[in-house]
Each structure stands twice: as C-alpha cells, then as structure tokens.
Amino acid sequence: MSPTFNVGEKLKQLRKENNLTLQELSSRSGVSTTQISEIERNLTSPTIGTLMKLISALGQETSIFFESDGRKNVSLVRKNERSLIVDQKNQVYIESLTTGIIDSKLKVIITHPRPGHENIPGGYQHPGEELIYVIKGRIQVTLDGRPYTLEAGDAIHFRGELNHKIKNVTEDDVELLAVITPPSY
C-alpha cells in the first residue's frame, strides 16, 4: 500500500477552489470550523462520515480523494500503489481499487474495519447500488433496520436508498470488498 493520502491538503485545495471560507464550509457541512481547520492542517484525520459530509458540501464525490493525476480510460492499480484513507481513530482504513478514470460510474474499495467498528452510526443513504463482499471475518449489515450477518465468502447487494450501516461484529479485523455505483463513497 502507498503512504496515507494527505486529506487535509486536498480538502483545503477544494475549499479554496470553491472560494469558501472555513465558516461557509462549516455551515454547508455541519462540521465545526475548528475541526475543519484541524483536518486541513493535518492535526487530526476525519472520520469517514465527516469526510463524506465535507465532500458533499463541496459538491464533490469521495473519489476526488483517490484520483490520480492524468485521468485516463484504463486504470491499473497495483497492490502496493493503492490510495489509502485512514479514519481519525484508526478504526477503519479504505483502499481504492478504482482511480483515474474520468467520470467513472463505479467505485470499488477494500475496507478494513477494526473489531466493533460501525461505519456510520445511524446509517447512510445515497442514490445507486452497493455490493459488499466479505473477504475475511464476519460483519453485520443493517438495511432499513433489518440486520444481516455475513461471513467470509458471503455477499449482499442492495439499493443505496436503503438506510444502511456496516459493523464488524468480531474481535478481529475484517476485510471487505465494496462496489458502489455511482461513486458516492
């Protein structure tokens, strides 16, 4: 894997490109100005939920944080060259397998949630579809309040409009492959 991506630098660049002050981005996203400032200065890392709020407030997709320079029609991502985002408390890290194709309709990631980690307490909704495949471990996927337990080798495919959250229900790290269309994560 490649070194951790500089989320703060990219966030600040996007904010400035949109001619937004910290206060304006805070108002749009619901994230405090203090937290945004700390993220931009790399004093803290955002949770995945916070990052999604900021990206949405900037009118972007999460893929903006994984894009490589020189977008193209074919993108080969070697195992040791994957973009990596780590959340604030090191509870999950995400590796992007799809980078560099302009206007891609697909996002494929590998996530590694730590024991007991729930990706977005309260759940999340977005347009499109998701497929979650468990590579290693056991998780609970909750869709509109209904829990589904998945183990290594299991997959679940669902509409993104369903309120959904994913939790590592084991004492071990797990590894998941997620396919999201359109890219919203």
Overall size of the chain counted in residues: 185
115 and 173 inside one domain: yes
> Closest Cα to residue 85, out of 59, 137, 47, 118?
47
Domain harbouring 166, CATH code: 2.60.120.10
Residue-level pLDDT at 55: 84
Asked whether residue 74 is domain-assigned, the answer is no
Q: How many other CB atoms are there within 10 angstroms of residue 170's CB atom?
A: 17
pLDDT of residue 64: 66
CA distance 181 to 127: 8
DSSP calls for the chain: -PPPP-HHHHHHHHHHHTT--HHHHHHHH---HHHHHHHHTTSS---HHHHHHHHHHTT--GGGGTPPSS-BS-----GGG-EEEE-TTSSEEEEES--SBTT-S-EEEEEEEPTT-BSSTT-B--SSEEEEEEEESEEEEEETTEEEEEETT-EEEEETTS-EEEEE-SSS--EEEEEEES---
pTM of the model: 0.64
Domain-embedded: residue 96:
no
**Which structural domain range is residue 148 located in?**
105-181
Count the domains in the chain.
Answer: 2
Q: What is the mean pLDDT of each run of 10 residues along the chain (185 residues)?
A: 64 86 93 92 83 84 59 74 72 80 82 87 87 97 97 97 94 94 74
Same domain for 118 and 166, yes or no, is yes
Question: Is the separation of the CB atoms in 169 and 151 below 8 Å?
Answer: no
Residue 165 sits in the same domain as residue 116:
yes
- 61: CATH: 1.10.260.40
